[in-house]
Amino acid sequence: MLTSIRLLHSPGNIPLKNGVVFLSGEDEVSQLPLDKEQQNFINQRLFKLNKQQVFWTNEKLQLLFVRPIQKKDASYQLEYSRKAGASSWKFLSDFSSPQVFFYGKSERLLLAFLEGLILSSYSFSKYKSKKKQVPDTLEVITDITEEHQIESLLASTLATFEARNLVNEPVIFLDAIRLGLEIERLGKTYGFTTETLDESQIASLRMAGLLAVNAGSEIPPTFTILKHKPKRQRFKKPIVLVGKGVVYDTGGLSLKPTLNSMDFMKADMAGAAAVIGAICAAAKLDLPVEVIGLIPATDNRPGFNAVTPGDVITFANGKSVEILNTDAEGRLILADALIYAQKYDPKLVIDLATLTGAAAGALGKEGAVMMAKAYEEDKSYLKRAGQEVFERLLEFPLWDEYGDQLKSEIADITNLGGATGGAITAGKFLEHFINYDWIHIDIAGPSFLKTGETYKPAGGTGFGVRLITQFLKNICN
């Protein structure tokens, strides 16, 4: 994987070596250190025939020439640059010292191109007996950007790698206890503090949802608190991030069908991974905002003492819940974390969770469902960040009528809505446990891919890390 970038300036004074040449327009072709015949060859194919890539070689050089796709929509133009970077990695990965020569005027296009290239270099090969050797350093030759922009780009992409690693780990390794230890390790690496509460502490806090979901497991739950607290802070109050940490979900006694639905349930902690990755990036960049992460973690198994449909549990805020389906478990552990978040008097709480198949059914892998009780300004910052990194959000309503589906005959509410609006009724459930500004993001669709595409690999995508990191950067400016 690419983990570092060496930035060199003055591309016109550095001879071309094996690598990728990014050209944003015809006028840059004449700047290439090639003879006229070679320049004409490149210009003809890239800009006259409108090819996206042109391969050129002789006995000394192998070069891939790339141009961006022109789009009026800025977010799509940046995304196509990421995809061009992803396809370029296939070419560069065979070189021991890959290089990118950028001849262009747009720093944003360059950074998007590099982002796609770096993200596509990721692989999870921990359990493979044979590992492909690929370069870990990329040389970028350009005058259009500076070191601090490269450092910011690397912080978000490498934090995305951390999230992908966590999602891709099987539960035989990454159980709830191990997740707490991995967070502690990452805290030491990136510079944020951590505290992991054990089962007795969780019980003393009356975290009824986490204890109920964990009841069928032989491995105790954990509740981990991550804190990035810089010396200089933009706001008086912290941003709190909550991530669903179900490290494996069988559905409990409401058992999932095994075919095509349980084999990737190690990914049910992708919300937790996104929160962890975002705090890694925030700490690495030393962003001037206090960020607190809350990770309730457990597996959901149909063990001897497993919670059963029809059981009633009471949360620390006094709300009683009739459990109608043990596979609607994520909202139960998120409720505990949302109650706990109140102690920080937060400016804003954002939770990320692989919460419902309904959200995946609505948007597929192309984006995430968002619901909110927050200021329009905060929502717009988040939506804008989604457009900028192409981790897009679509806001669903929290209309009162959806809450009627959660009515219970014997408790305050149930943990399951009706046959329609499942993503929204899950959000309405969570709404019972907040008393602050709050945004809920259901990442069930884009968090895990069975087949990779462009810069998103098969397995965990790390969706949410770049989104939240960009949001935090935006609100700090």
Contacts of 71 (CB under 8 A, 6+ apart): 77, 80
For the chain, the straight-line distance linking the first and the last C-alpha, in angstroms and rounded, comes to 31
- DSSP H or E stretch at residue 276: helix 270-285
Residue 44 dihedral angles phi and psi, to the nearest 5°: -60, -45
Please identify which of the residues 83, 331, 347, 473 carries the catalytic annotation. Answer: 331
Token pair of 79 as six digits:
């995304």
> Are 5 and 97 contacting, i.e. CB atoms less than 8 angstroms apart?
no
> Are 370 and 396 contacting, i.e. CB atoms less than 8 angstroms apart?
yes
Report how far Cα 173 is from the mean position of its chain's Cα atoms. Answer: 21
Beta strand spans in 134-228 (E) = 137-141, 193-197, 222-228
CB atoms within 10 A of CB 206: 15
Q: Which amino acid is at 195?
A: E
Task: Please identify which residue in the block is written with the tokens 């935006």.
Answer: 474
Residue 256 among the catalytic residues: yes
Token pair of 114 as six digits:
């590099």
CA angle 434, 397, 466 (to 5 degrees): 75
Contacts of 261 (CB under 8 A, 6+ apart): none
Residue 319 among the catalytic residues: no
Distances (CA, A) of 400 to 424, 428, 450: 10, 8, 36
> Are 326 and 306 contacting, i.e. CB atoms less than 8 angstroms apart?
yes
3-class DSSP string for 281-322:
HHHHHCCCCCEEEEEEEEEECCCCCCCCCCCEEECCCCCEEE
> Are 18 and 61 contacting, i.e. CB atoms less than 8 angstroms apart?
yes
Please identify which of the residues 17, 256, 319, 373 carries the catalytic annotation. Answer: 256
> Could you give the CA distance from residue 356 to residue 425 in angstroms, rounded to a whole number?
10
> Are 268 and 249 contacting, i.e. CB atoms less than 8 angstroms apart?
yes
> Could you give the CA distance from residue 260 to residue 222 in angstroms, rounded to a whole number?
28
- CA pseudo-torsion sign 221, 368, 152, 125: positive
> Are 322 and 413 contacting, i.e. CB atoms less than 8 angstroms apart?
yes
Contacts of 35 (CB under 8 A, 6+ apart): none
Token pair of 223 as six digits:
């509740």
Which active-site residues does the annotation give? 256, 331
